[in-house]
Chains A and B, each alone.
Chain A
Amino acid sequence: ETGVTQSPTHLIKTRGQQVTLRCSSQSGHNTVSWYQQALGQGPQFIFQYYREEENGRGNFPPRFSGLQFPNYSSELNVNALELDDSALYLCASSLVGDQETQYFGPGTRLLVL
């Protein structure tokens, strides 16, 4: 167990809808990153938050946005869902002083129909 939880476990949405995925990290983990993993592929970095500010973004459009809260929880929001957004979404957090080691949650599997 990594101490990182994600909700919901599974989600089905239709094209054009909006979705919010949630992640809860361990106390003291002030950096959270989000990754998208398409079926059969490795995770792709979406963005990272550090002390509630975005700290880098991968090759994802602005309709992917995030929030990080002081209580070590965070959200990934995706607007105007597309079929290709169907994937496993993973959050990962790391501890102050050991940011090299990232602790991954179990993921949220999103299906867009």
Chain B
Amino acid sequence: SQQGEEDPQALSIQEGENATMNCSYKTSINNLQWYRQNSGRGLVHLILIRSNEREKHSGRLRVTLDTSKKSSSLLITASRAADTASYFCATDSNDYKLSFGAGTTVTVRA
């Protein structure tokens, strides 16, 4: 079973626009991570946010975490064609065994 659920399932935006996707999870976590996957290949680690953090930035990425609502969001600002990919949230409940959601497929149109 999958711990995280991403919303929306798919997102299509124009280059330069922002993309926001959400993740909800069910049990308590140690940290939450976001990954990108291009064309069904390997996962690339984007950002990790710990349970005692509320917001984190990395380049054009902004992640928020609300542990009271068991939810997180990933914002990609000023999107580029190269951002076209599937994005997954993954939760770690302090045992380093990641539990992934089904992902959000993002398409950035030129």
Contact = CB atoms under 8 A, between A and B. Distances in A.
A102 B98 CA distance: 9
Q: Which 3 A-B residue pairs are closest in the complex by CB-CB distance?
A: A42-B100, A106-B42, A104-B43
A45 B102 contact: no
Interface in B45-69: 45, 48
B45 A44 contact: no
B96 A100 contact: yes
A102 B90 CA distance: 11
Interface residues of B, number: 26
Contacts of B30: 100
Contact of B103 (A33, A42, A44): A42
A2 B4 CA distance: 24
A94 B96 contact: yes
A contact patch SS? strand
Interface residues of A, number: 31
B42 A58 contact: no
B42 A43 contact: no
Interface of B: 1-2, 4, 30-31, 33, 35, 40-45, 48, 88, 90, 92, 95-103
B2 to A, nearest CB: 6
Contacts of A40: 102
A56 B100 contact: no
B41 A107 contact: yes
Nearest to B92: A100
B42 A45 contact: no
A90 B97 contact: no
A41 B90 CA distance: 13
Given A42-B2, A101-B48, A56 B95 contact: yes
Nearest to B45: A101
Contacts of B103: 41-42
Contacts of A94: 96
B52 to A, nearest CB: 13
A110 interface: no
B110 to A, nearest CB: 25
